[in-house]
Amino acid sequence: MAALAVLAAAVLWGTVGAAQELGAPDASPAGVAAVRSLGGGLLLLASVLLARRGGQLVAVLRRAPGLALGAILAISVFQLGYLAGIRVGGVAVGTLLGIGSAPMFAGLLSQLRGRPPGGRWLVATVATIVGAGALLLGGGEAGTTPLGAGLSLMAGAAYASYTLLAKQLLERGLAGPSVMAVIFTGAGLLLLPALVVTGGGWLLSSRGALTAVWLGVAGTLLGYRLFARGLAGVDAATATTLTLAEPLTAAVLGAVLLAERLTGWALVGAGLLAVGLVLAAVPGDPARLARGRVAHDHDRA
C-alpha cells in the first residue's frame, strides 16, 4: 500500500501540465502558477492550523527567514518556468526536460557547495544534456522550441535550488508540513500580481474553476499527503524511482489527450532523459536530491 501511495502521488503531479492545457488553455501560465501555488498553499496552511500547530509556522519564519524566502523565490520561478515551458513546448517534452534536468542542476549546486557528486551523476548529466539536444534537434516533430526548452531547463534549475533550500530548513528541525505551507503560500502571494495583471477571468468558467480546484487539491494537497503516507513504508530510493511515474503520466496524457507525439530524434531524446532520471534515482548518488520530494517536500507532510 505504501508503494501505491507514492505512485498515486506521482501520477497526480503528472496531470498538472495536461490540466493547464485542457482546463485553462487561454490562461497565462503565470496566472495558473499563482492559482496553483496559492490554492495549494492555503490548503496546506489550513491543515496545519486545524492540527493546532500554528506555532510551527511562526518558527519557520522566525528561525530561518532567509532560507524560507529563498525557497519561496525558487519554487515561484519553478512554477513559472514549468507551466510556461509546457505551454510553449508541449506537456510531454516540457515535463521531461523540467524534471530530467533537475538532477543535473542539483549536482552542480552540490559541487559549488563543496560536495562533489559521484560518477553516476556525471553519466546521468551527460545523458540529460544529449537528450535535451536530441529533443531540440527533433523540435519540429515534437513541438519543441528553443524558448520552450529554455523555460523548462530554467524550471529544472529552480527546482534543484528549491530542493536544497527546503532541505536545509528541515535539517534545522522545522516541521515539514509547516515548511511546505509557508513556502507555497508565500509563492502564491508572490505570484498573485501576475494573476491580477494577466486576468483571472478563466476562473469564472466552470472548466477554469474545476481546473483550479484540481491543481490545488489533487496536484498539491493530495499529492503531498499521499507521498508522505507512502514514505512511511518505503525507503527513499524506492520512492524516488516510483516518482518517475510523473513524467510518464505527463507523456501519456500528452499523447492521448493532446495528440502530442514523440518520433525520431525527439523519441531518442526522451529516452536519454529517462535514462538520466533512472540513474539519478539509483541509491547512493547525491543528485537524486533533485527529485527532492523524497528528501524534503513531503517529509512528514
Distance between CA atoms of residues 86 and 96, nearest Å: 10
Q: What gap in Å lies between CA 85 and CA 55, rounded to an integer?
A: 37
pTM: 0.81
Beta strand segments in the chain, E: none
Taking residue 122's Cβ as centre, other Cβ atoms within 10 Å add up to 16
Q: Count Cβ atoms within 10 A of the Cβ of residue 115 and give its class: 0-12 exposed, 13-18 middle, 19 or more buried.
A: exposed
221 in a structural domain? yes
**Positive or negative, the Cα torsion across 87, 93, 95, 100?**
negative
Look up the domain containing 119 and give its range.
2-296
Q: Which residue has the cell 503516507?
A: 229
Does any domain span residue 85? yes
Write down the mean pLDDT value for the chain: 81
Examine residue 301 and state whether it is found in any structural domain, yes or no: no
Residues in contact with 242: Cβ distance below 8 Å, sequence separation at least 6, in sequence order: 3, 6, 7, 10, 230, 234
**pLDDT, mean of residues 192-212:** 93
Q: What is the per-residue pLDDT across 237-282, written as a single tens digit (0 to 9) for each?
A: 555 556 667 877 887 888 788 877 766 777 777 777 777 767 766 6
Does residue 22 sit within a domain? yes
173 phi-psi bin (left φ>0, alpha ψ -120 to 50, beta other): left
d(CA 145, CA 149): 6
| 99 falls within a domain | yes
Interior angle at CA 64, CA 61 and CA 70, nearest 5:
95
Selected residue with higher pLDDT from 117 and 48 = 48
Is there a domain that residue 219 lies in?
A: yes
Is residue 135, in this structure, part of any structural domain at all? yes
Flag whether 228 is in a domain: yes
Count of domains in the chain?
A: 1
